[in-house]
Copies of this chain bind each other. A is one copy, B any other.
Amino acid sequence: MKKIAVLALAAVAGALCTPAFAQFAKPEDAIKYRQSALFIMAQNVGRIGAMAQGRVPFDAKVAADSAATAEFMSKLPWSAFVDGSQKGSIPTRAKPEIWAEKAKFDGLSEKLQAEMAKLNAAAKTGNLDNIKSAMGGVGAACKACHDDYQAKL
């Protein structure tokens, strides 16, 4: 049973040795990976935003859990912007400038991660004013990257 499970997993792992994609078997996997990470991050940030705006009651534990998850997720998308995944069989809003201006893009992703760390720290205090303050920095970091590197709908 165990051997079958391991073999099944290996089959799923598939062709991970293609040189262009050290981590991803095909462009669609890279696109889906980064979209998945960004979606989970946005959902968790959104929960905190609703509290910051008074749309839902403030729950310090939920905010802290969401901020911890958002910080973790904020580290994940970037390895999936691999060369060769500029497009694939699923739509992507990633603009080609990401690859042409990689150093600038990397700088913006690092800024986002730094702001997420601050949000996580603020949420740990359980103080809504701290959280509101940190959310400003997060929102600005999201916007800065999207303005230049996310295609409009």
Which residues of A are interface residues toward B (Cβ below 8 A)?
1-10, 12-14, 16-17, 23-24, 29, 32-33, 35-37, 39-40, 42-43, 45-47, 49-50, 52-53, 55-56, 69, 72, 76, 132, 135-140, 142-143
Whether A135 lies near B43 (C-beta < 8 A) is: no
Whether B142 lies near A14 (C-beta < 8 A) is: no
Instruction: Name the residue in A43, A45, A138, A140 with the highest tally of chain B Cβ atoms < 10 Å from its Cβ.
Output: A43
Whether B50 lies near A136 (C-beta < 8 A) is: no
* Known A-B contacts A13-B53, A49-B12; A140 and B5 likewise in contact (beta carbons under 8 Å): yes
A sample of 16 inter-chain contacts (CB < 8 A) reads A4-B139, A5-B139, A6-B136, A8-B139, A8-B143, A9-B45, A9-B46, A9-B135, A10-B49, A10-B52, A12-B42, A13-B46, A13-B53, A17-B55, A35-B36, A36-B40
